[in-house]
Structure formats: structure tokens, C-alpha cells
Amino acid sequence: MIEFPPGLILVLGALLLPFVKGPVRGALSLLLPLATLVAVWLVPDDANVTVSFLQGMEMTLVKWNRPTAVFATIFSLMAFGGALFALNQNRKVELPAAFVYAGSAVCVTFAGDILSLFIFWELMAVGSSIVVWSGNTEASGRAGLRYAAVHFLGGAVMMAGILAHVFALNAGGVENPLLLDYFAFGPGGFDALSFNGPGDIAPFLILIGILINAATPPFGSWLADAYPEASESGTVFLSAFTTKTSVYVLMILFAGTELLIYAGMMMAVYGIVYAILENDMRRILAYSIVNQVGFMVCGIGIGTEMALNGAAAHAFAHIIYKALLLMSAGSVLYMTGKRKCTDLGGLYHTMPITMWCGIIGALAISAFPWTSGFISKSMISQAAADNHLFAAWMVLTAASAGVFLHAGIKFPWFVFFQKDRGLRPPDPPWNMRAAMIFFAVLCVALGVWYEPLYAILPFPNVNGPLYEPYTVSHVVSQLQLLLWSGLAFFLLLPVLKRTLTITLDFDWFYRRFVPVLWRSVLKPVVTVFGWSRDVFFIESKRFAGAMTRADTEAARIPLFREWSLGSAMVLITFFLFVFLVVGYTH
């Protein structure tokens, strides 16, 4: 029986990695994620590991929640695949930071109370910020600072909501207000019109903190800003944990909240628009993360058993195929040093393994039949149709077509097949190829043999048999959607050929507008204020000097001479006595 959070194996193991080298470091970096995966499945279903906290409260560090099995399993597998891909990199800090990041994500999935969840949530922000900085470029340094600022701001907002809710629960006499059960707001506890006290605003603050981490617009520009600036392996790690941990937390705290349907729809469209406009291959895939997380958020907002199963299954599948796509892009960057689509092309000649793995990832993200995306994404769309949410169904269907445009075709076409630029790099080192092949096999295996994944979903056997993805109507309709999307791509190819452009996102406000506002408006105001303050202090000093001289003159008068402490006490006692007598007689 495991009586500690399994993710601590990765977190504590990360502390050993900087002190080992060579084959030992490589073996340890692969064994730690596998040990974590084994530990996840050794935790009994009725586990409830608690530690005492302030004034009789308890922190529940290990507990099975409904989505725990799905998310803890894929987080552990992702840590293994990412470590394999990074095996040949020589950065001493990146892999330990990535393991702290991944291990903290696993710990979040086992948290049974809001405090332990928040602690590991913030530890993820620390680890992921270091992963961004490990890119060791000027751009990664600046992006890492912005990334850390956004995530710690989100954490502060979330903590404010947690404290407000805990205080409200304490006032209501709740014995242990930290339990997640008291934070499961859902459609009943999340009242968008209630602002009668601190406890009423708590759900909004917590939700905003989570949505920042989920990269929901207008809070989501940090993702495309930071992820492409990390190293080839760092970006692979970053793609997996932050947004999907946010999906997990939304699922256990806000399932069925209608607002999330619209947030998810906006994310799905937003990600497509920016991905189609983008020229940087890793920024294309970064915006695609926002698009895919939008499907999950929308499913959580729908809140039915099928929708929540779809969100969990899609998170599982998405981590695999998105990591595969970023491994393919990272391999191209590693071997060519180029990341702009306009600088690439013709790589199919000498990078066949990278090309085929990229194509498999592109088919999976496009929900092509017999790939992992097909057996997961369709559950969310079906849940929208079953609940007569026509607008959501239409947006998700259109978004599925858009995904095929930007990630399914645009990425592999412009990187591997478009105009030959004369680049002839070979496939990357063996470990990078092995990691890509491993995830490519998983993409196909899940598309064909999906029953093991369906068996660990939050609601595996509720209301009849499991969802069946391979119906004739579903397969035919999806193939038709992909066929017409592919035709549209090649008809619009002249328009989609991007030049060296820069897309402006919401981060423009704090990267460009705020500095301009500071230089043109705020700095002059502060300068004037500083001048006024200096004048005030100079005049105050002169006034104090004058008063000091007046005190010196007054000291010559007996009444204003310097008094001893005893004399002063006698005088004060006398006046108090007079005051009491007068007050008593009147």
C-alpha cells in the first residue's frame, strides 16, 4: 500500500539528478517516471492519507477522485516519454525542473483537500518557469519572467478565493473546510448573480485562477509566448501538464458550470484563428493546445457523464499526440536550427521517421479514424448534441475542421513537403526517434484498442454500455469533414502561405502598451510627484529648523524649560485629579 503521493517520487528524485552523470543519470531519468506510474496503480481505491494541520484541520494528500486514474496515468507516461526525448540534452537544470513539474501535477490529481492541491499547483508554476528559463536564450529569459508573473498572479487570485471560501465555511461551523467536497461548486454552487459577501465571490476568484492556467482568453497569451521559447525537450514537457492539470481541477470543482461551455467555445475558435495566421511551427502547435483544451473545457461545462468522460479521454489522448507533434517540430529545430515555416520544406528527403511521426500526430489531432483523437473528441460533440446544445455542437464541429487545417495539414505540409529549401539534415539522435515512435504507436494503439482507456474514465459503466465511437454514421461523417477540410486547404493554399509576420495577441497590452503608457503618461506623473515630494520635504525641513530655533528661545522661559520625568508625572497626576473632581461634581 502506498501512503504518500506518488508524484513525490518524481519531485524527490529530481533532487538527485544534478548529482549523477552519464548512464546513471539516463537510467534514473527513465526509471523515476516508471516507478511513479507503478506507484499510481499501487494506491488502493479507498486510500485516504491525511496529515494534521492548523487547529485540528487535516490535509488529505492521497485520495482517489473520479478523474485521478486517467490524469495520474498519462502524467506519468508523459514524464517517461519526455525524459526519453531529452536523454541526449546536457542541461543540468531542465530535466530536474521538469520532473518537479510533472511530479507536482501527479500530486494534484491525488489531493483530497484544497490546500495540498494549491501547494502542488504553485510548485508546478515554479518547475515550469525554470523549464522555460532553461532554454538559455535571451528570449526564453524574458518569456520565463512573463510566464512566472502570470502564473503567480493566477495563484494569488486563486488563493484569495480559497481563503474567502474557507472563512465563509468556518463562519458556518464546518469542521474541516479544506476538503475538496466543499469546493465542488458546480452548477448549483456557482451562482453568477450572488455578491452578498466574501464567500460569494470566492468561486469567481478560484475559477479565474484556474482559467489563467488553462490559457483561456484573454488570459491565455502566455502559452504561445513562453512554450516556443523553451528548448526542444522543454516545450514537450510544457505542453502536457499546466493546461491539463487545469482541466482536471475544473472537472472536480466546476463540472456543469454553464459559463465553461462558452469559455471552451471561445478557446476552440481563438486557437484556430491564431494557429492559421502563425508562421512559427512551434507557435502553431502552441495555439493548437488552446484550441484542444477548449474542447475539454466545453465538455466540463456541459457536465454530463458522457461529456466529462469525453473531456478526460481527450486530455489523455491530447497529451500523447500533442507531445508527438512537438517532438517532431523539436527534432526539426534540433537538426536545422530553423523554426519558421517559410524557412523549411523538403525535409521528407532525409528525415522520414520525423516526418511519419509528425503525420501520425497530425492525423490524431484531426480525429482521423483509428487514431486516439477519434475515440475521445467525438464524445464531447456527442454530449453537446444529446443535450440539444446546437451552438456548441456547431462550434466544435467547425473547430474540428479548423484543427485539420492548421495542425493536420499546415504543419506537416509546410515543414516537410512545401518548396524544397535545400536542407538535408538526418533524423535526430536515437533517443529522440525512440520517443517519437513510442508516442506514435500509442496514438494508433489507442485508436484501435480504446477499451482500457474507457475502463478508467470517471464514469466507466454508468447509464448503459460505454460510448461506441466506431459507428458507420460517425466514421463517414468524420471522413467527410476531413475530406472537405483538406480540399479547402489546398484551394486556399496561396492565402495560407505565410510571410515573416508577427501576430499580436492579448499579451501586447502588457508587453507593448503598458511600457508606452508608462513612458508617456505614468512616468511624467511620477516625476512631477517626486519633484513635489522633494519640495515638500525641503520646506518641511526648513520649518522644522525654524521650530527648533523657536524651541531654543522658549527654553529660556521657565514654563518651557526641560522637565524631569518625576516632575512631569506629578504635573500629569495633578491635572488628572482636577479632571476627575470636575467630572464627578458635574
| pLDDT confidence of residue 558 | 46
* Rounded mean pLDDT, 424-453: 95
Q: Is the pLDDT of residue 368 over 70?
A: yes
Helices 281-302 and 374-386, interaxial angle, to 10°? 40
Q: Is the pLDDT of residue 6 over 90?
A: yes
Q: Is the pLDDT of residue 108 over 90?
A: yes
Q: Is the pLDDT of residue 555 over 50?
A: no
* Rounded mean pLDDT, 464-493: 81
Decide if 407 contacts 275 (C-beta within 8 A).
Answer: yes
Upper half-sphere CA count for residue 43 (Cβ side, 13 Å): 28
The pLDDT-based confidence of 501 (bands split at 50, 70, 90) is low
Q: Identify the residue whose cell numbers are 507516461.
A: 77
The pLDDT-based confidence of 541 (bands split at 50, 70, 90) is low
The pLDDT-based confidence of 496 (bands split at 50, 70, 90) is low
Which of 186-190, 353-357, 527-531 has the highest average model confidence (pLDDT)? Answer: 353-357
| pLDDT confidence of residue 537 | 61
* Rounded mean pLDDT, 208-212: 95
Please state the pTM of the whole predicted model.
0.86
Per-residue pLDDT of 385-412, as tens digits, reads: 999 999 999 999 988 888 887 777 888 8
* Rounded mean pLDDT, 95-112: 96
The pLDDT-based confidence of 447 (bands split at 50, 70, 90) is very high
Lowest mean pLDDT across 278-282, 397-401, 496-500: 496-500
Residues 6+ apart with CB under 8 A from 100: 10, 11, 14, 123, 126, 127, 130
- Interatomic CA distance for residues 78 and 84, integer angstroms: 10
* Rounded mean pLDDT, 58-79: 94
Q: Is the pLDDT of residue 336 over 50?
A: yes
Q: Which cell is 52 given?
A: 494534521
Which contiguous run of DSSP H or E holds residue 218? none
| pLDDT confidence of residue 130 | 95
Q: Would you list the DSSP string of 405-468?
A: IIIIIIHHIIIIISS----------HHHHHHHHHHHHHHHHHHH--HHHHHTSSSTTSSSSPP-
| pLDDT confidence of residue 173 | 77
| pLDDT confidence of residue 574 | 55
* Rounded mean pLDDT, 210-236: 92
Q: Is the pLDDT of residue 576 over 90?
A: no
The pLDDT-based confidence of 561 (bands split at 50, 70, 90) is very low
Written as one letter, the residue type at 54 is: L
Upper half-sphere CA count for residue 439 (Cβ side, 13 Å): 40
* Higher-pLDDT residue of 176, 39: 39
The pLDDT-based confidence of 351 (bands split at 50, 70, 90) is very high
- Nearest CA to 235 out of 296, 344, 324, 312 is that of 324
The DSSP 8-state label assigned to residue 89 in this structure reads: -
59-64-69-72 Cα dihedral, nearest 10 degrees: 10
| pLDDT confidence of residue 577 | 53
- Nearest CA to 488 out of 398, 363, 581 is that of 398
Domain segments of the chain as ranges? 256-499, 510-585
Residues 6+ apart with CB under 8 A from 401: 481, 482, 484, 485, 488
Per-residue pLDDT of 134-183, as tens digits, reads: 999 999 999 999 999 999 999 999 999 999 888 888 887 788 888 998 89
The pLDDT-based confidence of 192 (bands split at 50, 70, 90) is very low
Upper half-sphere CA count for residue 95 (Cβ side, 13 Å): 28
- Interatomic CA distance for residues 75 and 81, integer angstroms: 10
- Interatomic CA distance for residues 237 and 10, integer angstroms: 14
* Rounded mean pLDDT, 213-223: 90
